[in-house]
Chains A and B, each alone.
Chain A
């Protein structure tokens, strides 16, 4: 008996050591694409560097300057708005849409209709962001854009706005595009989550005379808690590092009313060629995202543990 265990143990450890080779390609890729550039970025952030020539070590000067740079703080304030637009709103809307599709459309009109609608919600996710951005830019164009021309045709001239050109409005216009972009992702995840829910729960609730809203609150929301947590983490991280939609739609403008940390860092890297300073912004952004991700992951683990306990 004991010899048998020993044999098994040895073979497991042999097998373990044998598997290490398989990690090599991934490890090389990780080193080359993530670890080394990240280390270089940290080093650059401690230097004054124009992109060519030699970086000059200046300690934490870049970070000190960063703390006093109003643009840096503005970019993080805008990040909060984008968390609303990319994480909170799409999650809220996504849960409702998924529930309607799953519990109402699908039984009433058939699963094909529901799948079709789900696909249409997902479409913005498939569209290359450069294309989507150009389309929205056209729609928002103040003079010939379809939004303003339609409003004017309806006699609602007062509502026609300089959407992306007005510094008070631009951030909401960009947020609107992001909500549109993100809903598809949340709907697809939540619908997958709902298919895992035991239908007996809904049947029981119906027999007890629960309304749709009551079922939504007590069953759907509770059962989807793990999915909601995952979606919130991934979309919040995406919101913090959002770059492409800003680059395509406003380039941080008008003025600096839509600047975000990633774009701020990019413009330091490539347009003002203050590589050291841009690297410092990138490092702070990396730190922020790690903190947010860890906090949300912790929260999710605690929550889903409670969830498991409650069920068990």
Chain B
């Protein structure tokens, strides 16, 4: 019976500990010559490399100011970020989770600094759609309103494919949904399961959303993501029906309900599957595998693709050295930092075209820029964004769908019910 209060207390204690380490290691929280920066990207990631470069540029330009960088974890920030931002010992600038349920909630609660005017006076170029993830309205809904954060990178979901397997089975890169299904059939007919899928994790909902986007327009995406009008649930039902058919036609293994995202990615990288519908966060690992030629195409026939700007830099309302924080944010947007990010295989938002030196960097970087330009389509965010906790519901229901435990209609009704329950009341 004590478990729950205890757990809450543990979370509070963990947050306090976090805040206190921030405090004790500095002991100088109000020191005007210290910039406290937190992020959770691990040292081997492209982002961490780019941000470390930003830190060294900052230090060179601010003699006498020390940067105290601390590495947190994603889970820490997800679960105790609110408590940290609400404490008196926040860092000056930190990486924070984009979305209604995270940045939206704290923005609404007044825990983040409004950067709208800062961005204007400093002339930051934030008018592309990737930067929409930093905008929150008075209800904490992402996509419009005041600017509370900026992002340095982007991501999108496409179809990774194994060029060697495509050549061996004489399959060409599909450009429409019908061609895509033919390609899937060609592999299935030869006893090869064409899609690597970990539906015990986010790849399940991502695939379902990609299929739903085939039947959606920019307006119905806005309705789903930003509650501008009625969401188009028939698109979801068509998507669920297709996905169920794909399971029956053995394009997807029913085993996938017991397979997490990492296992699915690993299996693709090991050459066991011809295709893997997932995001650009795999680009580093996929580029490094030496055994086969890889490529990526956008979900065939779709104009809209799951994707967005990345997580945010935010300045807590209680930060002590806001001007230094703004200087740092400005540096992260400079071409030298952005180009470096592209070079390391990241997907920058403001790099110069063609600046990446690696083939993978060029592929994902330039395609992202193209998606941002909106000429041949655009970014449709992620299916779990509109409502807090929708991710769990989507996961539970895609596993039910793949496992054959619920009909496509039941699945969509369950998703709709959770969506409606979490919708902000007008």
**CB pair A285 B1 closer than 8 Å:** yes
**CB pair B258 A166 closer than 8 Å:** yes
Complex interface: stretch among A36-44, A87-95, A202-210, A301-309: A36-44
For the complex, what is the distance from the CA of A116 to the CA of B257, rounded to whole Å?
39
The 5 closest A-B pairs by CB, nearest first: A165-B258, A272-B389, A37-B5, A282-B4, A165-B257
Complex interface: stretch among B181-189, B357-365, B398-406: B398-406
Other-chain contact of B5, A38, A140, A253, A270 (Cβ < 8 Å): A38
A53 part of interface (Cβ distance < 8 Å): yes
Other-chain contact of A253, B259, B396, B406 (Cβ < 8 Å): B396
**CB pair A271 B388 closer than 8 Å:** yes
A254 part of interface (Cβ distance < 8 Å): yes
Q: With A53-B108, A162-B258 in contact, is A269–B8 under 8 Å at CB?
A: yes
Min CB gap A44→B, angstroms: 9
For the complex, what is the distance from the CA of A225 to the CA of B3, rounded to whole Å?
28
**CB pair B263 A272 closer than 8 Å:** no
Q: Interface readout for A53-78 with B: 1 if CB under 8 Å, 0 if not? A: 10000000000000000000000000
A142 part of interface (Cβ distance < 8 Å): yes
Other-chain contact of B8, A41, A53, A253, A285 (Cβ < 8 Å): A41
- Count how many chain B residues have C-beta atoms less than 8 Å from C-beta atoms of the other chain: 42
For the complex, what is the distance from the CA of A293 to the CA of B267, rounded to whole Å?
47
B6 CB contacts on chain A under 8 angstroms: 33-34, 37
Min CB gap B14→A, angstroms: 12
B120 part of interface (Cβ distance < 8 Å): no
**CB pair B8 A52 closer than 8 Å:** no
B163 part of interface (Cβ distance < 8 Å): no
B397 part of interface (Cβ distance < 8 Å): yes
A141 part of interface (Cβ distance < 8 Å): yes
A267 part of interface (Cβ distance < 8 Å): yes
**CB pair A34 B406 closer than 8 Å:** no
**CB pair A167 B105 closer than 8 Å:** no
A51 part of interface (Cβ distance < 8 Å): yes
Q: With A141-B259, A255-B403, A282-B4 in contact, is A162–B392 under 8 Å at CB?
A: no
Other-chain contact of B4, A52, A141, A272, A285 (Cβ < 8 Å): A285
**CB pair A37 B1 closer than 8 Å:** no
**CB pair B403 A167 closer than 8 Å:** yes
Q: List residues of chain A with CB under 8 Å of any chain B CB.
A: 33-34, 37-38, 40-41, 50-53, 140-143, 162-167, 241, 243, 251-257, 262, 265-274, 279, 282-283, 285-287, 289-290, 293
For the complex, what is the distance from the CA of A262 to the CA of B7, rounded to whole Å?
10
A271 CB contacts on chain B under 8 angstroms: 388-389, 391-392
**CB pair A143 B1 closer than 8 Å:** no
**CB pair B399 A33 closer than 8 Å:** no
Q: With A143-B259, A254-B399, A273-B101 in contact, is A282–B108 under 8 Å at CB?
A: no
B397 CB contacts on chain A under 8 angstroms: 255
**CB pair A265 B396 closer than 8 Å:** no
For the complex, what is the distance from the CA of A241 to the CA of B200, rounded to whole Å?
24
For the complex, what is the distance from the CA of A65 to the CA of B407, rounded to whole Å?
26
A140 CB contacts on chain B under 8 angstroms: 258
B113 part of interface (Cβ distance < 8 Å): no
**CB pair B4 A286 closer than 8 Å:** yes
For the complex, what is the distance from the CA of A257 to the CA of B82, rounded to whole Å?
31
**CB pair A167 B5 closer than 8 Å:** no
B93 part of interface (Cβ distance < 8 Å): no
**CB pair A272 B254 closer than 8 Å:** no
B9 CB contacts on chain A under 8 angstroms: 33, 37
A285 CB contacts on chain B under 8 angstroms: 1, 3-4
Shortest Cβ distance from A290 into B: residue: B1
Other-chain contact of A34, B5, B106, B109 (Cβ < 8 Å): B5
Shortest Cβ distance from A250 into B: residue: B200
**CB pair B255 A143 closer than 8 Å:** yes
B267 CB contacts on chain A under 8 angstroms: 143
For the complex, what is the distance from the CA of A126 to the CA of B21, rounded to whole Å?
30
B190 CB contacts on chain A under 8 angstroms: none
B256 part of interface (Cβ distance < 8 Å): yes
6 contacts between A and B (CB under 8 A): A38-B2, A51-B82, A165-B403, A167-B405, A262-B4, A290-B1
**CB pair B7 A266 closer than 8 Å:** yes
**CB pair B82 A52 closer than 8 Å:** yes
For the complex, what is the distance from the CA of A241 to the CA of B3, rounded to whole Å?
7
Other-chain contact of A141, B79, B254, B263, B406 (Cβ < 8 Å): B263
Q: With A53-B108, A143-B255, A254-B396 in contact, is A289–B389 under 8 Å at CB?
A: no
**CB pair B389 A142 closer than 8 Å:** no
Min CB gap B81→A, angstroms: 10
B395 part of interface (Cβ distance < 8 Å): yes
**CB pair B389 A274 closer than 8 Å:** yes
Other-chain contact of B254, A40, A162, A265 (Cβ < 8 Å): A162
